[in-house]
Amino acid sequence: MPKLLNSLARQDYGGMPATKVYVADAGSTDGTPEIARNFVGDLQVEVIAGGLPARGRNAGAREARTRYLLFIDADIEIADRTLVRRTVELAQRRGLHCVTTNIACPEGGRTDRLLYSGNNLMQRLSRLYRPFSTGMYMLFEKDCFERLGGFHEQALFAEDYLLSCQVARSRFGIVRGKVLTTNRRFRKMGRLRVARLFLNTALHTGKQDFFLRDHGYWRPRLEEEALSPAAKSIAG
């Protein structure tokens, strides 16, 4: 999380000093509240109660009073200091309801990079039929987010996919650039298993029951971190 908050503090988005950043913490044991408070001088950070990602993200969205909501995973780094500004500008210019970007994994091996490249490709191709966004970096117009009911809190897998698939193609965009992530989930769950889950997600589009079943996606993280935090920034 420190990398995420540091990269948010470096963004050239003009509204960042006045933007509230909510960190959803679900009883983590890695000092999340203390880490967040270290950034109070650089960001308007507030720690709120979380849970699995859908619950924590919805909690942050309820607190937000801005036009746009930007959801970001805690282990993301935004190396490009212009990305948040360009994301908001793209949404405003084209009247978009949802904007995402590409994901890169510089610390991973060749297979890890290939898997994320595949995700980026499928995300772009999805605009031809039913677009989807990864929750690692997802901006939503707040009015649209509320009309769609937010993230499905009973979903045990791909709650970000479920929500973004409801956005019209004409209101979905992908901003140029990328955010950086780790390969921790691949190492914990196994690359083949994660790839199979992602493929099943695409094959079960429109079948909500699939996403309400426990596929063990969050289990490694819950066991390791006792409900680790999910961080998100609310920008407008």
Q: Measure the CA dihedral 55/60/62/66, to 10°.
A: -150
* Residue-level pLDDT at 214: 67
Report the pLDDT value the prediction gives residue 208, as an integer from 0 to 100: 67
The predicted pLDDT at position 216 comes to: 63
> For residue 29, what is the domain's CATH number?
3.90.550.10
Q: How many domains does one find in the chain?
A: 1
Q: What is the pLDDT of residues 199-231, one digit of tens each?
A: 766 666 666 676 666 656 555 444 444 433 344
Predicted local confidence at residue 202, as pLDDT: 66
Per-residue pLDDT at 198? 74
What pLDDT sits at residue 187?
76
Q: Which domain holds residue 138?
A: 2-233
- pLDDT value of position 91: 98
The segments of the chain whose pLDDT lies below 70 read 27-30, 200-208, 210-236
